[in-house]
């Protein structure tokens, strides 16, 4: 079974759908909601398809994917930082302590 490359019309439809999903992702962010994981996966797969066929991404898709990658990096670093703390240390208390300390030093 041979897979036919997508036609220009099909790639155009992928671009349109990427723009619609990217717009929904931006709306969700503005409203303080998470975009469903399956929609984010669809965007990533569509972006890969476009890249594989030399089609430039819409700017909104680029923005959404960069923000998602940044958020994933941030969550991963938080998870690593919490995993490295001994069980008897209150991470939130430590954060509040340092925040107050930095605030105090900045006022001096």
pLDDT tens by residue, the chain, 108 residues = 677 889 999 999 999 999 999 999 999 989 999 888 888 889 999 999 999 999 999 999 999 988 888 887 777 777 666 666 566 556 666 666 667 666 665 655
State the Cα torsion 17-33-73-60 to the nearest 10°: 30
Q: What are the structure tokens assigned to 91, written together?
A: 């991470």
Q: What are the structure tokens assigned to 28, written together?
A: 């969700």
- The reply to whether the predicted model has a pTM over 0.85 is no
Distance, CA of 23 to CA of 31 (rounded, Å): 12
- Measured between alpha carbons, how far apart are the two ends of the chain, in Å? 73
Q: What are the structure tokens assigned to 32, written together?
A: 């303080």
The upper half-sphere exposure of residue 106, i.e. CA atoms within 13 Å in the direction of its Cβ, equals 6
């Amino acid at each position: 079974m041979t897979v036919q490359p997508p036609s220009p019309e099909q790639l155009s439809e992928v671009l349109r759908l990427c723009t619609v999903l990217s717009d929904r992702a931006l709306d969700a962010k503005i409203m303080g909601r998470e975009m469903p994981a399956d929609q984010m996966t669809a965007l990533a797969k569509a972006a890969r398809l476009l890249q594989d066929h030399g089609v430039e991404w819409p700017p909104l898709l680029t923005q959404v994917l960069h923000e998602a990658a940044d958020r994933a990096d941030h969550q991963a670093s938080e998870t690593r930082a919490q995993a490295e703390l001994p069980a008897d240390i209150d991470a939130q208390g430590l954060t509040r302590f340092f925040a107050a300390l930095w605030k105090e030093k900045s006022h001096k």
